[in-house]
Amino acid sequence: MNQQESTVKLVVQALDASVEDLDEDLVRRLAAARERAVSAMQPQWQAAGHAGVLHQLGHYVAHHRLMTSAAMLLGALLLGFIVTQHVIGQHQLEQGDAFLLGSELPPEAYLDKGFDTWLQQNAR
């Protein structure tokens, strides 16, 4: 063993010994820090780790919070607009039907050759 190797060995021995002599309170605090770190890992990675897509999505959301928030807001606005349009359209359709049923037949209806047939079929 040359001098360099023996120096390394000696120093590493001393360093290992210094670790064994760490204060009990310090060791407890390190263990507590380790537990906190492990629990911080679990919700983010471990649960998602079983599903690749969820994992990727979680990773993306975690790193692009602003963009994800903006996309979610836009999505909600778009959904609101579509639902509103649908409700309004439905209401207008119902009103049109009621108007047609409640009003007298327009003269054009009597000129329509298929109207008589349709009327007879629906009258039964």
Partner 1 sequence: MATAQELSNFLAEVERRAYRQTAYAVRDEHAALDIVQDAMLKLAEKYGARPATEFPMLFQRILQNTMRDFWRRQKVRNLWTSLLSSFGGHAAEDDDDHDPLDTMETGQRSEDEPEAQLERSQTIAIIERAIEKLPARQREAFLMRYWEDMDVAETAAAMGCSEGSVKTHCSRAVHALAATLQHYGFNQQGLKKPGAGS
Closest distance of CB 59 from partner 1, Å: 7
Q: How far apart are CA 33 and CA 39, in angstroms?
A: 10
Q: How far apart are CA 94 and CA 92, in angstroms?
A: 5
Q: Which is nearer to partner 1, 29 or 86 (CB)?
A: 29
Contact 48, 55 (CB under 8 A): yes
Closest distance of CB 66 from partner 1, Å: 18
Q: How far apart are CA 58 and CA 114, in angstroms?
A: 60
Q: Which residues bind partner 1 (CB under 8 A)?
A: 1, 3-4, 6-8, 10-15, 17-19, 21-22, 26-27, 29-31, 33-38, 40-42, 44-46, 49, 55, 59
